[in-house]
Amino acid sequence: AQSVTQLDSQVPVFEEAPVELRCNYSSSVSVYLFWYVQYPNQGLQLLLKYLSGSTLVKGINGFEAEFNKSQTSFHLRKPSVHISDTAEYFCAVIFNFGNEKLTFGTGTRLTIIP
Amino acid sequence: GAVVSQHPSRVICKSGTSVKIECRSLDFQATTMFWYRQFPKKSLMLMATSNEGSKATYEQGVEKDKFLINHASLTLSTLTVTSAHPEDSSFYICSARDSGGRFFGQETQYFGPGTRLLVL
């Protein structure tokens, strides 16, 4: 079955430290990859996406992600986090370009420690 | 651009009543909208795909008679939870795809802020 795995349910990080949030998916065919952020009691906001081309994708708020086809991963990184980055982060994948349904990971709660 | 709104943002209702949630794309047309349900500390689960002018496509295990979806126009989809019960309490989120692909392409979904439903 096609699935998206976010291994870390919670990640605490000190302010101004770097962070990496991991995402792996199960598929041997081409996919579209997304990272969304959800602030408390709000909907999801698109951070970045990978469709094709350069494997390093830059998004909003200083985040970037790298697509690794051989490892079927799409890890999210930021070199220096801020208090305002505290939120839930979801990795999502479109496995079927025909219906373009998003399959979400279980989310990673990023907590920034002052 | 690419703003999706939901109304109401939160609603409390009595068991057995019906609740309607609206999802609107404010600055783009969306032939396709999606309805998700999010449980506390859980991921989003797709409930159904709503297509303008046609019947919604429900995911396996979702009761179509309980969760009525109407996509009446290119900017509005509604989800009606009929005869709501406490187990229907959840956070409901809609998303919409820009039919014209003007923002980030048609594969990108834009999410509403969500509606928190509490059934007493």
How many CB contacts within 8 angstroms connect chain A with chain B? 52
At a CB cut-off of 8 Å and minimum separation 6, what does A78 contact?
Answer: A18, A19, A61, A62, A63, A64, A85
Neighbour count for residue B47 (Cβ, 10 Å)? 24
Short-list B32, B107, B34, B36, CA closest to B73: B32
What's the confidence (pLDDT) of residue B102?
62
Distance between CA atoms of B4 and B18, rounded to whole angstroms? 23
A44 at interface of B, judged by CB pairs closer than 8 A: yes
Q: What is the mean pLDDT of chain A?
A: 92
pLDDT tens-digit series, residues A11-45: 999 999 999 999 999 987 889 999 999 988 778 89
- For chain A, give the longest Cα–Cα distance: 45
| For residues A105-114, average pLDDT | 95
Confidence of residue A100 (pLDDT cuts 50, 70, 90): confident
pLDDT tens-digit series, residues B89-118: 999 999 998 876 666 666 678 999 999 999
- Helix/strand/coil (H/E/C) assignment for every residue in A5-33: ECCCCEEEEECCCCEEECCEECCCCCCEE
Residue range A3-113 forms a domain whose CATH class is mainly beta
Task: Choose among B106, B108, B112: nearest Cβ to A46.
Answer: B108
Decide if pLDDT at B80 tops 90: yes
User: Nearest residue on chain B to A32, judged by CA atoms?
Assistant: B107
Do B83 and B21 touch, CB atoms closer than 8 A? no
The one-character DSSP state at B59 is P
% of residues, chain B, pLDDT over 90: 67
pLDDT tens-digit series, residues B4-55: 999 999 999 999 999 999 999 998 888 889 999 988 777 889 999 998 888 8
In chain A, where the domains are located: 3-113
What's the confidence (pLDDT) of residue B103?
60
Interface test with B, best of A100, A103, A108 (most B CBs within 10 A): A100
